[in-house]
Chain A
């Protein structure tokens, strides 16, 4: 079967466009890389006609955020469908093909005085379509909000092989349903994103970052809480570390006189940390990049816990996490948290990591915190994800309505969608 599929894929995209993709989890899939929209359309129509299931993706930098598909016949990468379609500096918007690399886009719009958001890890590889499909919101989410807020419109390849747009390239627009919000974070289970339009933000006049260290996570979290109260609104207030080594990174940007006048309050907020360092310009950006690249990419080898809550509930959940690890004698988890956004990623590793994950799944479910276990094999994931997500029945109806034949492989997100 696989050989026959490869042959057909080669007919559509050419022999040099066919290779093999190893999914997170180790399964090998025939991979087709279309060079134009027609070829991408033909691939989807082929899957539909032959009752095959395909996995769309970009370069796979966020592939581990999903579980492996229950069944998949081939993968379709949009990596070769790249390039900026329109960049309007005077309008503060950009439209680009899905395979465009985030670093390339960021460099282009920077020349026009704009910042590209979201700012995600591995920007030289991460594709625009992949970032939007994964709903990755990046390191500066505290200031700019989630990825879905920046997506102005998309052009998507639907399961029946038609091309359908949603939204446009306008900063304000309520014409028709916001299907682009539905697609954002849908991990390629509803369509293949081909083009995306984003709102841009002004590059700031001045950028500052502060880093500081502590041996106590609670001290780091308290510093972040104080940062939430200072006059300067932080763009980043993150904690990274494990055990007794924690680093706080805070970043600010804006008009120079404001930063000048209020940095004293920031230093005060970080007063309980040691080795507090103030960085400016490129060094400040590099500090934020360190947080960005600290992302705990789920790889399937160790359980990665992803928590989302409110600020107040997250604090309690963080305590539960550490005390459970301590009680079970597990190695302390590695943590990346943005306490003011109310998200936390924790990597559980070493002997007993699976037991710790099971224990945590139970206690967190009772605490009202939203816990996800991305990247795990289905069996373990099902064991850990105790409650179905709110609205699962509606999600299934949407999937069945937009992709009745399951052209886009099922089972990658929670609830088997």
Chain B
């Protein structure tokens, strides 16, 4: 990288905010999709919007590609660097700028860790609802980029439903202040459009978030089944009966055993074929009758046991097992490919069977844990990246699973984003015209395509649109 540019960037972020030594760049080579790696030329860690904007201006003048990064917990390669590019991280932007308990919102810097916000709000009887499994590490800015979900999004909705405003640094370093919070901003919903844009529109540096009152009563049920099918059927019936718990999660046998062998051990029975974790929240009477209805549904299926968390500690333990499941799977194999797809909730059992079959056909081990209430599947393939043949089979299985989900009326991703991982399948789900509309919107935000290039929308589709726009 040009020495004068380096000096100018260091003048903005200081020595501590600039990472250029090759050994220190290694952790930035990938996000949670470790199968794909690329070392960036440089990592910048600005402390606020002003510094981030100054960095973006300098990089714009030098026409350097930029990848914005939160904690790097994403699973689709959204934060994988690009060759010759710079990573701009939010690790030094972790402040809560405003906590307004009267109007129930918080304004935070993008690098704030998700779980920290709920901790800050807890004394005021409020919490931040989206709770990705990685919430102890992942950042609000990353959640905004990916429109992250989590178990409780079944009731509360994904990140987009909780973002009231944003401050965005655009491709050329100009700052777009949409910090709100206003319930109906005038004109187009730029905030809604930006959420989930995976860093291709610019970088959110400040986020205004809706806070939710804590429910007075929470009951957590653990239902134990001898197989996945019965657990899935119970969920389908709950949805058909229009019951509204706050979370419905399923873990299969391999996952249960991995969790129970790990520090996340939750007390799940290791001989179970599957467990179903259901949480019901609300007023005491409402929780009581809804739990009763759910237990009645379990009773209509071959359930082995249903138990309710006795106290908040047991509840937290049950959830720690669920949220630690991905980490626990490190005990099964050195690497884990976390697939993420959504299907209509009437097709849960059918698609779970299909994913098992796809893995079996390719000689792969599958551990399944997923947000059943939303139809959001996470078939997790255990593998060893040192085995190139296995890597190839994993990628092939991933493609096959996604295509089966799309064929069943589903989509490519429920909460992890498209990133690099699902770029190829975008053309399987979307037509040329669908992608053309996306490319035009991307062009409005980043005409030079320097913001997280090669992610989310296939370049081929955008290239064709650009060619068509050129004078003949």
Contacts and interface: CB of A to CB of B under 8 A. Distances in A.
B409 A169 contact: yes
B329 to A, nearest CB: 22
Nearest to A156: B437
Contacts of A172: 149, 153, 158, 342, 371, 374-376, 414-415
B102 A258 contact: no
A189 to B, nearest CB: 8
B56 to A, nearest CB: 15
A181 B282 CA distance: 29
Contact of B344 (A163, A169, A392): A169
Contacts of A135: 184, 189
A261 B285 contact: yes
A174 B414 contact: yes
A57 B146 CA distance: 33
Name which of B160, B286, B374, B415 has the most chain A CB atoms within 10 A of its CB.
Answer: B286
Contact of A395 (B187, B244, B438): B187
A391 B441 contact: no
A148 B472 CA distance: 40
B188 A182 contact: yes
B162 to A, nearest CB: 10
Interface string B293-325: 000000000000000000000000000000000
Nearest to B416: A174
A320 interface: no
Contact of A179 (B158, B178, B371, B437): B437
Nearest to A173: B411
A177 B193 contact: yes
A394 interface: yes
A269 to B, nearest CB: 16
B344 A88 contact: yes
A148 B191 CA distance: 12
A145 interface: yes
A394 B242 contact: no
Given A166-B437, A177-B438, A395-B190, A311 B412 contact: no
A114 to B, nearest CB: 7
Given A172-B149, A172-B376, A401-B444, A148 B105 contact: no
Interface in A308-336: 308-312
A90 interface: yes
Nearest to B157: A149
A174 B184 contact: no
A181 B192 CA distance: 6
B13 interface: no
Given A88-B346, A202-B244, A310-B181, A260 B374 contact: no
Contacts of A261: 283-285
A28 interface: no
Contact of A394 (B146, B176, B413, B435): B176
Interface string A162-176: 111110111111111
Contacts of B414: 170, 172-174
A228 to B, nearest CB: 10
A168 B406 CA distance: 10
B438 A182 contact: no
A162 B190 contact: no
A377 interface: no
B303 to A, nearest CB: 20
Contact of B239 (A92, A148, A174, A341): A92
Interface string B232-268: 0000100110111000000000000000000000000
Interface string B138-181: 00000000110100010001101100000000000000111001
A329 B261 CA distance: 77
Contact of A258 (B160, B286, B442): B286
Interface in A233-255: 254-255
B470 interface: no
Nearest to B190: A391
B436 A164 contact: yes
A240 B424 CA distance: 54
B102 A165 contact: no
Contacts of B149: 172, 174
A192 interface: no
A257 B176 contact: no
A231 interface: yes
Interface string A363-405: 0000000101000000000000000011110110110111000
A389 to B, nearest CB: 4
B286 A254 contact: yes
Given A309-B182, A392-B187, A174 B413 contact: yes
A358 to B, nearest CB: 19
A83 interface: no
A173 to B, nearest CB: 5
Contacts of B282: 254, 258
A165 B430 contact: yes
Nearest to A167: B411
B411 A175 contact: yes
B189 A114 contact: no
Interface string B421-442: 0100010011101111110111
B190 A394 contact: yes
A203 interface: yes
B188 A148 contact: no
Given A172-B342, A174-B146, A148 B183 contact: no
B397 interface: no
B108 to A, nearest CB: 17
Interface string B400-416: 00000000011111111
A223 B182 CA distance: 23
A381 B261 CA distance: 67
B375 A312 contact: no
B102 A181 contact: no
A406 interface: no
Contacts of A415: 186-187
Given A170-B344, A258-B286, A343 B184 contact: yes
Interface string A135-166: 10100000001101100000010100011111
A267 interface: no
Contact of A308 (B184, B240, B242, B433): B184
A186 interface: yes
Contacts of B158: 172, 174
A165 B289 contact: no
Contacts of A186: 188
A184 interface: yes
Given A149-B161, A162-B433, A370-B186, A202 B441 contact: no
28 contacts: A89-B240, A92-B239, A92-B345, A135-B184, A146-B184, A162-B433, A165-B430, A165-B431, A170-B344, A172-B158, A172-B371, A173-B413, A175-B426, A176-B418, A181-B193, A255-B286, A258-B286, A308-B184, A310-B105, A310-B181, A342-B183, A394-B176, A394-B444, A395-B188, A397-B445, A398-B441, A402-B437, A417-B188
Interface of B: 100, 102-103, 105, 146-147, 149, 153, 157-158, 160-161, 176-178, 181-190, 192-193, 195-197, 216, 236, 239-240, 242-244, 282-286, 288-290, 342-346, 371, 374-376, 409-418, 422, 426, 429-431, 433-438, 440-445, 456-457
Interface of A: 88-93, 113-114, 135, 137, 145-146, 148-149, 156, 158, 162-166, 168-179, 181-182, 184-186, 190, 202-203, 231-232, 254-258, 260-262, 308-312, 341-343, 370, 372, 389-392, 394-395, 397-398, 400-402, 413-415, 417
Given A172-B153, A308-B184, A402-B444, 13 more contacts: A90-B345, A91-B239, A149-B161, A173-B342, A174-B415, A174-B416, A175-B429, A176-B429, A231-B216, A258-B282, A261-B285, A392-B187, A402-B441
Closest 9 CB pairs of A and B: A202-B242, A181-B192, A257-B285, A389-B186, A162-B433, A172-B374, A310-B103, A397-B444, A164-B437
